[in-house]
Structure 1
Amino acid sequence: MSVQAYNDILQNQLSTFISISNQIGGEVAEQAKLVNDAFRAQFNFLNIVNQSSAPSPDQQMQLLKPTSDKIQAIQTLREKNRASVYFNHLSAISESIPALGWVAVSPAPAPYIKEMNDAGQFYTNRVLKEWKEKDKKHVDWVRSWIELLTEMQKFVKQYYTTGLVWSGIKSAVIPPPPSGGMPPPPPPLISDLNDMSIGDSKDDRSALFAEINQGENITRALKKVTPDMQTHKNPNLRPGPAPFKTPATSAINFSYKSAVQKPPVFNRDGKKWIIEHYKDNHGLLVDGTEMNNVVYMFDCTNCTLTVKGKINSIFIDSCRKSSVVFDTVVSSAEFVNCQSVQMQVLGNVPTISIDKTDGCQMYLSDKSLGVEIISSKSSEMNVMVPKGNGDYSEFPIPEQYKTTVSPTGLKTVIVETKG
């Protein structure tokens, strides 16, 4: 039943998503093929689960490898196409595809899929914002992907509420390695019981019952335990601590972000300025810009970026202890997955977006006091408003809310923290 239900998802929601992705084309279609392969690999894995007994952790990792390889390929495709016009599409899938890791989550895997679906929402919202007026296919694309993960969540909640269940009796068959092959299995061991005749089996049972029927006489052969043999009176007889065993993990890590330090990048690709992987550099400068230009700063630590002129937008992604100073932005300044970052606007900025960021200081100018600040899943955000004498007033952005439920709906108010 569960395998058939999963196959229905492949034939319906997944098929719709693949079809729309192919209509968009480019890197979106290329990534969709990998998504299809990942779901098919998980379908094969569930077939094994329903026919086999639980394997060892190492064997399970081998069985999950085809799925995890496809997840890694999806995330790698995104990293290789940061300058793509479809970068938000690629990022939405890359952030949420680890939902297929529910097979290694217990005791409640369904909420994990919801969490991964939410993780990609920031980028799906960007796709909708950018394309809803240009091409309706992209709106349908977002809807099809969300529906696919939503159906996956319902499926897991119905059939695997408390986690993966190995329901078969056969041993799981590990897929063969790509080359070389594995050595043939050793010949099966023949149990001594299989060599016993029926008469021998009856004789053994008769002898066993004769021993049991001795009553109190059965304990005569037992050795008496003297006080010097009792472990509670003789600590030196107690066994040492049990050998250390690696604790079993409830989930397998499906994250494949490389820890290797990459060389810094500073170049212009058409309308996009790309600054990546810089460390301890406070002299980064973008000059000679045009109003349709976009500045993208990624994976920089302890750096300061200065942007001259009027540009379309600034995007700060996965940076730590870094600052950006700019003149005027036509669209928005955005911070995602950052820690301890600062920004200062000298001219105007209509929108500041903050997502999954801890620690963001925003210094405004007189021209930017009408800015809209949109924040989600972030903390320690402060806005510095100029007083007019060269000093600033500091205002924290609320992080805590109280929601009251009533028959008519929900009412949410800000809860101020006083300390």
Structure 2
Amino acid sequence: MAELASLVQRLEVAVGRLESVSGGGGGGSTAGSGAVSAYVEAYDVILSGSVAQYTSLSQQIGGDVQKHADMMKQAFSCQRQLLGTSSCSQQPSDAGLTGLLAPVSKVIQQVQAFREQNRSSPFFNHLSAVSESVPALGWVAMAPKPGPYVKEMQDAAMFYTNRVLKDYKDKDKVHVDWVKAYLSIWTELQNYIKQYHTTGLAWSKSGPVASASAAPPRAPGGAPPPPPPGPPPPPMDFSQTGKDQPAENHNALFASINKGSDITKGLKHVSDKEKTHKNPSLKTQCGPVRTGPKPFSSPQPTGSTAPARSLPPVLELDGKKWKVENQEGAQGLVISDTELKQVVYAFKCNHSTLQVKGKINSIIIDNCKKLGLVFDDVVGIVEVINCRDVKIQVLGKVPTISINKTDGCHVYLSADSLACEIVSAKSSEMNVLVPGKDGDFTEMPVPEQFKTIWDGKKLVTTATEIAG
């Protein structure tokens, strides 16, 4: 079945190529037609190669992975249509480009939404790898450096593909091959961009000006749908550094975190009347809550600013998950009715403090800014993802703390948690504070710079200090 699926994919690409040649031959000159179709044919090689292999392996795995792959197949098809348009049309205005990018942007949002809707999936790491890297298809709007942008998105996927390899390397080779095939898509795409679109999407110097209504008819579902009403979401930004607030405000916000076990004296307890899982009527008052990363969207015209959307704050127990979302300036949030099987997921909580009492399975902090977290015991892992300027204090024990794509993270360990493993990737300004006999903390930075040498048999990597 896998070989058959791969063959079907190759046939679809071949048919698309023939239709492109037959459809584009009547307009311009033969020489011009051959030149503009070269990068479309090169893109077809990627579709019939690594993309087809990824799709085939996803079908073997089945379930949510296969559903995700079907969405990705549609995304690549939409982008192939855009390349066909650019190969025989002149570059449009920003507004025209927005319409042309709409089909790809829509599928990207669907891919990311699918991951958020299936957090309990046994293949969540697979879904996360795809969801984190699918914005790479937005390279067509990332002039003048589309290639490095794709590389950045590929790196974002590797945090989760490494987890897949760890879980399946000794169990099922199909998943290992799936990781290799998926990552090779982005590697080949970088090489493709370097050759044909080094500083941005290449457009024809002749022919009509491109428009969404004039796009080739091969795209599924006909012409791209009009954008939804209201301002579009802002483009993804991976360059935030966490320097937007004065240092004194940051220090004042987290001053109470150094109180140790006395920190609970200044915290506000959330009563049963304020907990939405014990009062379902509260949910209807604040409306539905949607979570997840911002989808890729095309660049906005110069001078336009999309207003930020304000979502209602959430603090509730949903099944086994404590959801703490959209909290702004909430000092003294407390989760006390905990059980070992429960997890805490904090999403988009800014300028707030949260304490988790008792022993719990795991804690995830995602897309939070200037958040203070204090907890007793975690038997699994504490994960910090896509955050800025957060502080974490362990009062009891925790085996592992993972810090990924985060700028600014202070970890206060307790005497019982000194054996904790701290794993970091793509992060900066990390410090670990260790308690002394007198109760004072000793602060030590986590290395960010490394030196790698070849010792004749293998690569040896050691941490280095920044000179000067």
TM-score for both structures, normalised by structure 1:
0.73
What aligned pairs does 1:44-55 form with structure 2 within 5 A after superposition? 44-55=81-92
Does 2:436 correspond to 1:390?
no
CA deviations 1:321-357 (Å, max 9, x no partner) are 2122222222221111112211111222122111122
Does 2:71 correspond to 1:34?
yes
The aligned residue for residue 333 of structure 2 is 284
2:140 to 87, 92, 103: 103
Q: In structure 1, the residue corresponding to 2:361 is in which secondary structure?
A: strand
Contact 1:335 1:354 in 2 (8 A): yes
The aligned residue for residue 272 of structure 2 is none
Does 2:359 correspond to 1:322?
no
Does 2:126 correspond to 1:126?
no
CA deviations 1:55-79 (Å, max 9, x no partner) are 3333233222221222222233334
Residue type at the aligned position of 1:154: N
Cα distance in 2 for partners of 1:144, 1:29 equals 14
CA deviations 1:293-327 (Å, max 9, x no partner) are 32211111122222233333211111122122222
Contact 2:129 2:157 in 1 (8 A): yes
CA deviations 1:265-288 (Å, max 9, x no partner) are 233344332221122223333334
Residue type at the aligned position of 1:325: V
Structure 1: 5+ residue runs without aligned partners?
181-250
Aligned-residue offset at 1:43:
0.5
The aligned residue for residue 155 of structure 1 is 192
Change (3 A) 1:87 1:410: closer
Cα distance in 1 for partners of 2:462, 2:162 equals 25
The aligned residue for residue 73 of structure 1 is 110
Larger Rg: 1
The aligned residue for residue 295 of structure 1 is 344
Q: In structure 2, the residue corresponding to 1:302 is in which secondary structure?
A: strand
Aligned-residue offset at 1:258:
9.0
Contact 2:103 2:224 in 1 (8 A): no
Q: In structure 1, the residue corresponding to 2:74 is in which secondary structure?
A: helix
Cα distance in 1 for partners of 2:453, 2:56 equals 43
Aligned-residue offset at 1:109:
2.4
Aligned-residue offset at 1:366:
1.4
Residue type at the aligned position of 1:314: I
Change (3 A) 1:342 1:36: same
Q: How many residues align?
A: 347
Residue type at the aligned position of 1:17: Y
CA deviations 1:359-403 (Å, max 9, x no partner) are 212111112111221222222222111112222222122233455
CA deviations 1:215-261 (Å, max 9, x no partner) are xxxxxxxxxxxxxxxxxxxxxxxxxxxxxxxxxxxx9539xx99312
The aligned residue for residue 12 of structure 1 is 49
Cα distance in 1 for partners of 2:225, 2:408 equals 50
Residue type at the aligned position of 1:47: G
Contact 2:91 2:210 in 1 (8 A): no
Cα distance in 2 for partners of 1:19, 1:400 equals 39
Aligned-residue offset at 1:39:
0.6
Residue type at the aligned position of 1:294: V
Residue type at the aligned position of 2:115: R
The aligned residue for residue 379 of structure 1 is 428
Residue type at the aligned position of 2:332: G
Cα distance in 2 for partners of 1:332, 1:150 equals 31
Does 2:394 correspond to 1:357?
no
Q: For the aligned residues, what is the CA RMSD?
A: 3.1
1:346 to 380, 395, 398: 395
Cα distance in 2 for partners of 1:31, 1:258 equals 31
| Identical amino acids, percent of aligned pairs | 50
Change (3 A) 1:52 1:148: same
